[in-house]
Amino acid sequence: MNMLFHPDDATLASYAACGVERNYSIVLDLHIRECRHCQQRISDADHIGGALLQALPAAPLGQEQKAAVMALLDGIAPAPGVKAPAPAPEEMPKILEVLRNWRQADLDALPWKPMAPGIRRIPIEVPQGRLNLLRIAPGTCLPVHSHQGNELTMVLRGSFSDEIGRFTPGNVADLDDDVEHQPIADRDEDCICLVATDAPLRFRDWLPQLLQPLFRL
């Protein structure tokens, strides 16, 4: 799958090092699974992690500890030389299961709740930060906003455009607090996207403040 817009390299590096909160990694998983460019970045990050491990100072370890490990070796049968099959997917909330198969899933059947004219959403429970599915009617203009913190958006259906470009399904907008943008849903169909943020969005003028409940602020 050819993607035009990827997560920032800094985001990918942190993802590889388990340094992103769950709301972001849910979005990232969906993109990276389809994107060889990003898979390569993750693989590179791991090679860098390996070089870093090599460069770490050795922590002192007792001989008795090594003896304990050596004593266990005989009890362990070698695993076959081929990689184990993928572990069974863990139990996850239904909505996350739907998202995992977002290209096939019936997104219309989800419990969309109206939030503002032209905008519906589904909040998704995550331990940290915020994660929302947004469904934006064709031609709807979201308020100009900047971010206190990060905002990571992946389009699942339709498309939106902003100052950066036109985002189609699978593409990701990775924004931080330096960026102010005004996304507009393209005219042909509803735009459905998955949006992770860690802090409330800041709107620039008073009118869009009415929309703040939209983002559960």
Partner 1 sequence: MSPQANNERVGDAHWAELMARIADNRDKNAFSRVYDHFAPRVKSYLLGQGAQEALADELLQAALLQVWEKAGQFNARVGSLSTWIYRIARNRYFDHLRRERVRDRPPPDAWLQQEDEFEREVHGGTQTEVERERLSVENALKQLPSRQAQVLYMSFYQGKTHVEIAGEMDIPLGSVKSSLRLAFEKLRCSLGAHL
Question: Contact positions toward partner 1, by CB under 8 A?
Answer: 8-22, 25, 29, 32-33, 36, 39-61, 65-66, 68-70, 72-73, 76-84, 86-87, 127-128, 149-150, 176-178, 198
Closer residue to partner 1 (CB): 82 or 207: 82
C-beta separation of 144 from 182 below 8 A: yes
Of 51 and 207, nearer to partner 1 (C-beta) is 51
CB of 55 to partner 1, least distance (A): 5
The helix-helix angle for 36-55 and 9-16 (nearest 10°) equals: 60
Minimum CB distance to partner 1, residue 5 (Å): 16
> Nearest distance from residue 16's CB to partner 1, in Å?
6
Beta bridge partners of 193: 134, 155
Q: Which of 193, 194, 191, 197 is nearest to 212 (CA)?
A: 197
Query: Residue 127 and residue 123: Cα distance in Å, rounded?
Result: 13
Of the pair 38, 136, the CB lying nearest partner 1 is at 38
β-bridge pairing 119-124 and 172-175: unpaired
The residue (of 42 and 137) whose beta carbon lies closer to partner 1 is 42
In the complex, minimum distance from the CB of residue 184 to partner 1, in angstroms, rounded to a whole number = 25
Residues whose CB is less than 8 angstroms from the CB of residue 17 and which lie 6 or more positions away in sequence, other chains included: 45, 49
